[in-house]
Amino acid sequence: MKKTDTLYKSKPVILVVDDTLTGRHAIVSALEGKEYELSLASNGMEALSLATRLEPDVILLDVMMPDLSGYDVCRQIRSNPSLREVPILMVTSLADREERLRGIASGADDFISKPFDPMELNARVRNITRLNRYRKLRDGNRQLISMKRDLAILENKKVHLQKLAMVDDLTKLHNRRSLLRKGRDEFDPAKRYETNLSALMIDIDKFKSINDTFGHRVGSFIIKSLAIELKGNLRSMDIAGRLGGDEFCVLLPHTSLNFALTLAERLRKSIETRVFTAKKTAINITISVGASTLSPSMNNVMDLMESADVALYKAKVRRNSVA
């Protein structure tokens, strides 16, 4: 039996521990036929082994045993995290107050004196098993709620990490990996249904001199500012990403080359007239933009981006221009 099985069994599991056959038989006679599953142990070591395996609903434990006394068994059960909540009813012929206090100190929950009244034993066991199974169900529900909460937290973290893996840390635009994935999603249907798809490749003119003159922190500020300008000039359906360094790419679904050029020119002018302030210094930058549109000869989104990159190279010869 697995440890978790006892919670879902239809019958409560009672572990009876007594070193005498007569003692075990008396308890079995009183409880059998009462909707319990009885398991018997004839000594303390066997009791500990069965208790660990079964995790019973109640343990009926004889006090006077030769190898391990009931007190010793009780203490060891209470030291086991998986068993410390199991109710223990000591069955004893000892009526001495000190011995009962010793039993309580070792972890016993209650006592029943030998010879016992079978009806009293049944009533005690019935009440204890009901309370213990209720506790198990309550704890199980709490554990389930906790597990669901932990799973929800893990799922949220997973989604968050997945998003982070697709976002450029500096600009919060798509990173290269995400841009290519989005590009494939746009390219395949555009190619199949012969709809427009254009791309812009964007590069900051003389960006190295900005880093050399003002430092990389200012360079990062310029890149972030350009990303903000990009977002402000694009439509919600457009897909902007940073490929690395100062190079950006924008995918324009359902967009002709003429409209792509118009958008590129608008963006170029917006950057040209913008003044960026860093370290109390006004900095003007310009960009070069290459534009391309889907043609029958292209087989994937990389072909489209490479075509726009060729156009960007031409624009950078003149700088602050669109090609």
CA 90 from chain centre, in angstroms, equals 45
Chain position carrying tokens 């660990």: 52
pTM of the model: 0.55
Distance CA 110, CA 103 (A): 9
Measured CA to CA in angstroms, residue 238 lies from 110, 247, 251, 264 at distances of 74, 17, 6, 13
* Cα distance between residue 130 and residue 143, in whole Å: 20
Q: In what order do the strands lie in the sheet containing 239-244? A: 239-244, 247-253, 197-204, 287-293
Question: For residue 107, what are the contacts with CB-CB under 8 A and spacing of at least 6?
Answer: 74, 75, 77, 78, 84, 88
Walk me through the domains of the chain, giving residue ranges and CATH numbers.
5-143 (3.40.50.2300), 176-318 (3.30.70.270)
Question: Which residues make beta-bridge pairs with 292?
Answer: 199
Burial pattern 271-299, b for ≥16 Cβ within 10 A else e, equals beeeebebeeeebebebbbbbbbbeeebe
Q: Report the length, in residues, of the chain.
A: 323
Task: Please give the chain's pLDDT, 323 residues, in tens.
Answer: 444 444 445 688 889 999 999 888 988 888 877 788 899 999 989 999 999 998 898 999 988 888 888 889 999 998 988 888 888 888 887 666 777 788 788 888 888 888 888 888 888 888 888 777 766 667 667 777 777 787 888 777 776 666 667 888 889 999 998 999 999 999 999 999 999 999 999 999 999 988 888 888 888 999 998 999 888 888 889 999 999 889 999 999 999 999 999 999 999 999 999 888 877 788 889 999 999 999 999 999 999 999 999 999 999 999 999 99
Question: What is residue 277's three-state secondary structure?
Answer: strand
CA–CA separation, 234 and 208 (whole Å): 26
